[in-house]
């Protein structure tokens, strides 16, 4: 599987669909879980929290339960025939500790389902792409503050899940760092996670011919430079078709970041659009990964060749 390959699209959701809510990374407060479940019920979905979604690891307070339990929640939800979608409650840290505990043969056999998450969930987006050949949604966490409080984040995810043809053009309001248009298959996520993923069993060889969506949170300019440089040195950007830069919350003054992006990415000779409105920001847009699309850096749009979900 390469970045040029469009992936298998799961079926869209319908009223009454059962969706499992998991915590594969960091711990989630119960009140946030309940608030997210209430929103999903308001969409006429049947949300089901998995058995360990409220767990805390006995030694490491940054993990939602043990690696084995977090993996078991995802695998059992994915393989359950009555579950139509799996939504992540939050990111944080922890996916890399559990992703290789999953039985990917069994998960592929269970068939395509909708998968939603962002941040640390980038490692699962990559694993679903490389091991299951599946389109996934880089979208709000079901117990995240942005999802619970922000109408735009809620509505864009809801439209993508139920009426994906209505959001085939994603208009970000972003501006061109490097002008132009590019075509390719979408991929990406959290920059630091993509850099950390290098050399692991579920990492792809690179972003050749892809439309790469990048964002991050809480990383100083030099650390963003370091991650970009690591990917550049590894040849991961070789042949990339275009790049969209999302949010960089708590990463320092944006003018300093823009200089890093221009320095590290400007020489690739491909369109680059900034402030695209996905990731760790208010009203975050839902971006499908694994779908062929056109990126227009000047207009700040991403237009999908076909809806993200069937």
Closest CA to 57 of 6, 94, 22, 112: 94
* 274: annotated active-site residue: no
* 119: annotated active-site residue: yes
* List of residues 6+ apart from 58 with CB closer than 8 A: 66
pLDDT of residue 3: 54
Residues 88 and 239: their CA atoms lie apart, in Å, by: 32
Single out the catalytic residue among 57, 172, 215, 219.
215
pLDDT tens for each residue of 119-136: 999 999 999 999 999 999
pLDDT of residue 6: 80
Single out the catalytic residue among 52, 125, 138, 280.
280
Neighbours of 131 (CB within 10 A): 17
pTM of the entire predicted model: 0.96
* Burial class of residue 93 in the structure, from the number of CB atoms within 10 Å of its CB (0-12 exposed, 13-18 middle, 19+ buried): middle
Q: What is the mean pLDDT of the chain?
A: 96
pLDDT in tens, the chain (310 residues): 445 578 899 999 999 999 999 999 999 999 999 999 999 999 999 999 999 999 999 999 999 999 999 999 999 999 999 999 999 999 999 999 999 999 999 999 998 999 999 999 999 999 999 999 999 999 999 999 889 999 999 999 999 999 999 999 999 889 999 999 999 999 999 999 999 999 998 899 999 999 999 999 999 999 999 999 999 999 999 999 999 999 999 999 999 999 999 999 999 999 999 999 999 999 999 999 999 999 999 999 999 999 999 9
pLDDT tens for each residue of 43-59: 999 999 999 999 999 99
Closest CA to 50 of 30, 74, 83, 79: 74
* List of residues 6+ apart from 111 with CB closer than 8 A: none
pLDDT of residue 299: 96
CB contact at 8 A, 181 and 295: yes
Single out the catalytic residue among 119, 172, 192, 227.
119
pLDDT of residue 57: 97
pLDDT of residue 5: 75
* List of residues 6+ apart from 219 with CB closer than 8 A: 191, 192, 227, 248, 251
pLDDT of residue 47: 98
Residues 255 and 145: their CA atoms lie apart, in Å, by: 27
CB contact at 8 A, 90 and 113: no
């Amino acid at each position: 599987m390469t970045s040029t390959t469009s992936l298998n699209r799961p079926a869209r959701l319908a009223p009454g669909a059962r969706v499992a809510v998991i915590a594969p990374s960091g711990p989630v407060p119960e009140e946030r879980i309940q608030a997210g479940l209430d929103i999903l019920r308001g969409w006429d979905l049947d949300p089901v929290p998995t058995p360990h979604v409220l767990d805390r690891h006995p030694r490491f307070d940054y993990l939602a339960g043990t690696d084995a339990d977090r993996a078991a929640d995802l695998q059992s939800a994915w393989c359950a025939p009555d579950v139509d979608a799996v939504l992540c409650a939050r990111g944080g840290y922890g996916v890399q500790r559990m992703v290789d505990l999953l039985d990917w043969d069994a998960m592929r056999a269970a068939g395509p389902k909708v998968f939603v998450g962002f941040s640390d969930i980038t490692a699962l987006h990559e694993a679903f792409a490389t091991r299951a050949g599946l389109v996934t949604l880089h979208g709000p966490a079901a117990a995240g503050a942005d999802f619970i409080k922000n109408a735009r984040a809620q509505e864009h995810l809801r439209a993508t899940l139920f009426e994906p043809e209505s959001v085939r053009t994603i208009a970000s309001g972003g501006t061109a760092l490097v002008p132009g248009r590019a075509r390719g298959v979408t991929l990406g996520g959290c920059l630091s996670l993509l850099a950390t993923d290098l050399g692991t069993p579920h990492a792809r060889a690179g972003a050749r011919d892809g439309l790469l969506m990048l964002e991050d949170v809480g990383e100083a300019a030099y650390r963003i430079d370091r991650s970009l440089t690591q990917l550049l040195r590894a040849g991961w950007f070789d042949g990339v078709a275009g790049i969209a830069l999302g949010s960089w919350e708590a990463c320092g003054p944006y003018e300093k970041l823009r200089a890093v992006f221009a320095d590290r990415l400007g020489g690739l000779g491909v369109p680059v659009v900034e402030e695209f409105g996905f990731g760790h920001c208010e009203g975050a847009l839902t971006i499908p990964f694994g779908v062929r699309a056109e990126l227009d850096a000047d207009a700040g749009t991403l237009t999908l060749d076909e809806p993200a979900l069937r």
